[in-house]
Structure 1
Amino acid sequence: MSEKDFIAHHQASIENGNFQWSAPSNIALVKYWGKKDKQIPANPSISFTLNNCKTITKLAFVKRGFSTALDVTSSDFSFDLLFEGKPKENFKPKIQKFFERIEIYCPYLKDYHFTIDTENTFPHSSGIASSASAMAALAINIMSLEKALNPAMTEDFFCQKASFLARLGSGSACRSVKGSVVVWGNHVEINDSSDLFGIEFPSQLHANFKNYQDTILLVDKGEKQVSSTVGHDLMHNHPFAEQRFAQAHQNLSAIKTVLENGNLEEFIKIVESEALTLHAMMMTSLPYFILMKPNTLEIINKIWKFRNETKTPVCFTLDAGANVHVLYPENVRENVLQFIKDELVGYCQNGNYICDAIGNGSQLIIDN
């Protein structure tokens, strides 16, 4: 598909209504770091969709002119933004920019006044990036409106365009729409993979990875030292960029095989290498950043020691920050959680951590 295929041509008319969706966060196994114009990834990536850490967004809409209280002369977008039921003015510029990016594909947006009411199931200051879940939740709500305007829309197109729109808000958001394991970016071995949207992992997932666990250790709950946009931009002149992009393609090929055959030892090698490579890219860019904290390294070394001594198939991955995602199969959950409580909680800020697992993507809550 091309971008032109996502330009809406609706026939129906709808005056008002509301939808509510939840969309989860995701954690990349093979990372994307670096992007081209229009949020196109410089390399493909693959992620686990989480189950508990998600954004719940309600989108209420009224056609401008349907209510005399609404300004029908303005040519700008019309929306109110609430976070946990209260106005959140400092979030509005990001939504404005998102609407501007997707207007060509959703020309009906200026026909309506929207009230966007959003909340997260995880604490706002938890150090977990919420942009992926937030943009996915908003995009899929918008697609519910578009489907009401075009009832003939297929389910596949609905999900593809929701992922396509989410990507324009936050790149990794396209991996939070549908599926437990999601691939984003063209890859020669992944059928139907695309730079434009995420797809469900097309192979049969081995039983070892069903209900895989992710315990998120909150080492640092502060603001990011560097925004994702700045970090991605630093790859443009990075001395190791091309080698990194090639490595990502190779690792995606390797992890595809692993997810099919259940080889946990190889899974651990790929996932941990990818996490450390992501941070190596940041440490070797100009300007350079060290986003790991001393406690991040303490946790990594404790995990390595525990795995070596007990042969438990537990590993870590990292986002562009200090927090540690501890990944492990469900059948060792009891032992790993005890290890976390005994040896790792002390390295978490205020002892905070979140237990999560693989989920299935966005869920419809209200359709009205």
Structure 2
Amino acid sequence: MHTNIVTCTAPVNIAVIKYWGKKDEKLHIPLNSSLSASLDQKDLKTTTSVVAGTDFTEDELWLNGKKENVESKRIQNVLRLIREGSTVEWKDDPNYKLRIVSTNNFPTAAGLASSASGYCCLVYALAQLYGCRSDLSAIARLGSGSACRSMYGGWVAWEMGRDHESSVAVQVADEKHWPEVQILVCVVSDVQKHTSSSDGMQQSVRTSKLLADRAENIVPKRMEEMKQAILTRDFHTFADLTMKDSDSFHACCADTQPPIYYMNNVSHHIVSLVQSYNKKVGSNKVAYTYDAGPNAVLYIADEKHMVEMLKLLHIYFNPSEGVQRERPFFDNEYLLAKMSTLDEQSLVDGLQVEKRPDALKYILHTKPGPGPQISQDHLISL
């Protein structure tokens, strides 16, 4: 028996300039460039173990305990390119079969970019196993477009490019560049969304004139403005661009025929809370953004304003006592202690927002973090 094993972790990334739609479906070349932050893997990550061995009868892929189709075109494209760039002697030996086991510690397919961290982690783990020296972001892109952005930590741009070699991820700034930035993930729903991202993109490309205008006339300038805001740590501008781009993306979804609505009433309620709060404090200290799902991701200028927003989320989406929950509404004891010192009345004064008890399932706290990591905590026992 000849066996090799590698385990890696990879981050979720949340775009502040959105990717939506491809101009090349086969190569996953996007309509426009995009930009995201990779989130800290202490909080949100995919873990993938890959084993190559001669005692397996076939390749297998397991995701969150469920056997998936390893023969899918995306998986096979990734494997082919990894093997083409491989430096190990056994890369083409048909006796070596793969066992791939992957888990997420966050809701899958509910707008939290699970395919991005998943394909990034798969590609990174396979690359370590096979000794692949190709550009891994380009290979990850063939699995899931936004997966290329998870190949780096911190703030990452996916440059649109023209072909396979030029459509790659580039790090704008690492995770240590802007340490003050805080992130809250407000989980509204953790069930499968009705329209998948890939189906939604194709519908929008075919039917939305807004999408074409956004890609050609809005995003190129916005990308440059966003990079500059990040490099200069200008949070007010960063927040303004982030919220405008989220609104623009969802307007394109609504302009699609038939219309696609990923946000729900609770999502819009959080938007109102953020806008009211920013108006009250006199500048943008919180930015909302929504991917293809109802969950809000809030980028926040610093810990002070994050704790205030956390308190407001507890006030306006107050979790009822005695309600059965799969996980705590919020479980960071340090931040809960800081939150408890704030005066509720002074926080809510001037905010014109209706209370919606139990409308949120739970809240996660995180921050920008590093790219893929090698782990010794294997998911497969040999």
Q: TM-score, normalised by structure 2?
A: 0.77
Secondary structure of 1:106's aligned partner: helix
Partner of residue 331, structure 1: 303
Q: Report the CA distance between 1:221 and its aligned residue.
A: 2.0
Distance in 1 between residues matched to 2:311 and 2:250, nearest whole Å:
28
Q: Are residue 292 (structure 1) and residue 259 (structure 2) matched?
A: no
Q: Report the CA distance between 1:124 and its aligned residue.
A: 4.5
Contact 2:189 2:361 in 1 (8 A): no
- The counterpart of 2:154, out of the listed 180, 183, 201, is 180
Secondary structure of 2:270's aligned partner: helix
Distance in 1 between residues matched to 2:290 and 2:80, nearest whole Å:
35
Which residue identity lines up with residue 29 of structure 2 in the other structure? I
Q: Provide, for residues 343-366 of structure 1, a one-character-per-residue CA deviation record: whole Å limited to 9, x for no partner.
A: 245656553121111111111103
- The counterpart of 1:230, out of the listed 199, 204, 215, is 199
1:45-56 matched pairs, under 5 angstroms: 45-51=34-40, 52-56=43-47
Q: Are residue 146 (structure 1) and residue 130 (structure 2) matched?
A: yes
Q: Are residue 264 (structure 1) and residue 238 (structure 2) matched?
A: no
Distance in 1 between residues matched to 2:188 and 2:75, nearest whole Å:
34
- The counterpart of 2:275, out of the listed 304, 316, 322, is 304
Partner of residue 28, structure 1: 15
Q: Are residue 164 (structure 1) and residue 138 (structure 2) matched?
A: yes
Contact 2:154 2:368 in 1 (8 A): yes
Secondary structure of 1:117's aligned partner: strand
Contact 2:161 2:167 in 1 (8 A): no
Distance in 2 between residues matched to 1:174 and 1:218, nearest whole Å:
24
Q: Are residue 219 (structure 1) and residue 208 (structure 2) matched?
A: no
- The counterpart of 2:362, out of the listed 352, 359, 362, is 352
Distance in 1 between residues matched to 2:295 and 2:75, nearest whole Å:
31
Compared CA separation, residues 34 and 345, structure 1 to 2 (3 A)? farther
Contact 1:131 1:173 in 2 (8 A): yes
Secondary structure of 2:61's aligned partner: strand
Distance in 1 between residues matched to 2:174 and 2:106, nearest whole Å:
30
Distance in 1 between residues matched to 2:180 and 2:146, nearest whole Å:
21
Distance in 1 between residues matched to 2:3 and 2:219, nearest whole Å:
45
Distance in 2 between residues matched to 1:195 and 1:345, nearest whole Å:
48
Which residue identity lines up with residue 169 of structure 1 in the other structure? G
Distance in 1 between residues matched to 2:127 and 2:81, nearest whole Å:
11
Point out the structure with the larger helix share: 1
Q: Report the CA distance between 1:127 and its aligned residue.
A: 5.3
Contact 1:345 1:351 in 2 (8 A): no
Partner of residue 116, structure 2: 132
Which residue identity lines up with residue 48 of structure 1 in the other structure? A
Partner of residue 81, structure 2: 105
Distance in 1 between residues matched to 2:93 and 2:75, nearest whole Å:
9
Q: Report the CA distance between 1:240 and its aligned residue.
A: 2.2
Moved more, 179-188 or 322-331: 179-188
Which residue identity lines up with residue 174 of structure 1 in the other structure? C
Partner of residue 316, structure 2: 343
What 5-or-longer segments of structure 2 have no aligned partner?
84-90, 320-355
Contact 2:14 2:37 in 1 (8 A): yes
Partner of residue 249, structure 1: 220
Secondary structure of 1:61's aligned partner: strand
Q: Provide, for residues 181-222 of structure 1, a one-character-per-residue CA deviation record: whole Å limited to 9, x for no partner.
A: 11102479xxxx975321111x68896x32522111111222
Q: Are residue 61 (structure 1) and residue 37 (structure 2) matched?
A: no
Contact 1:206 1:261 in 2 (8 A): no
Contact 1:136 1:173 in 2 (8 A): yes
Distance in 2 between residues matched to 1:330 and 1:109, nearest whole Å:
51
- The counterpart of 2:69, out of the listed 80, 84, 92, is 92
Which residue identity lines up with residue 365 of structure 2 in the other structure? C
Contact 2:29 2:160 in 1 (8 A): no
Q: Report the CA distance between 1:47 and its aligned residue.
A: 0.2
Contact 1:205 1:260 in 2 (8 A): no
Q: Are residue 79 (structure 1) and residue 54 (structure 2) matched?
A: no
Which residue identity lines up with residue 335 of structure 1 in the other structure? E
Partner of residue 285, structure 2: 313
Partner of residue 6, structure 2: 19
Q: Provide, for residues 129-161 of structure 1, a one-character-per-residue CA deviation record: whole Å limited to 9, x for no partner.
A: 3111111111101101221xx6xx4xxx5xx32
Identity %: 23
Q: Report the CA distance between 1:224 and its aligned residue.
A: 1.2
Secondary structure of 2:151's aligned partner: coil
Secondary structure of 2:19's aligned partner: coil
Distance in 2 between residues matched to 1:20 and 1:205, nearest whole Å:
22
What 5-or-longer segments of structure 1 have no aligned partner?
1-13, 72-77
Contact 1:318 1:324 in 2 (8 A): yes
Distance in 1 between residues matched to 2:291 and 2:365, nearest whole Å:
16
Secondary structure of 1:235's aligned partner: helix
Contact 1:26 1:175 in 2 (8 A): yes
Distance in 2 between residues matched to 1:48 and 1:16, nearest whole Å:
36
Q: Report the CA distance between 1:329 and its aligned residue.
A: 2.3
Which residue identity lines up with residue 81 of structure 1 in the other structure? L
Distance in 2 between residues matched to 1:340 and 1:279, nearest whole Å:
23
Q: CA RMSD in A?
A: 2.8
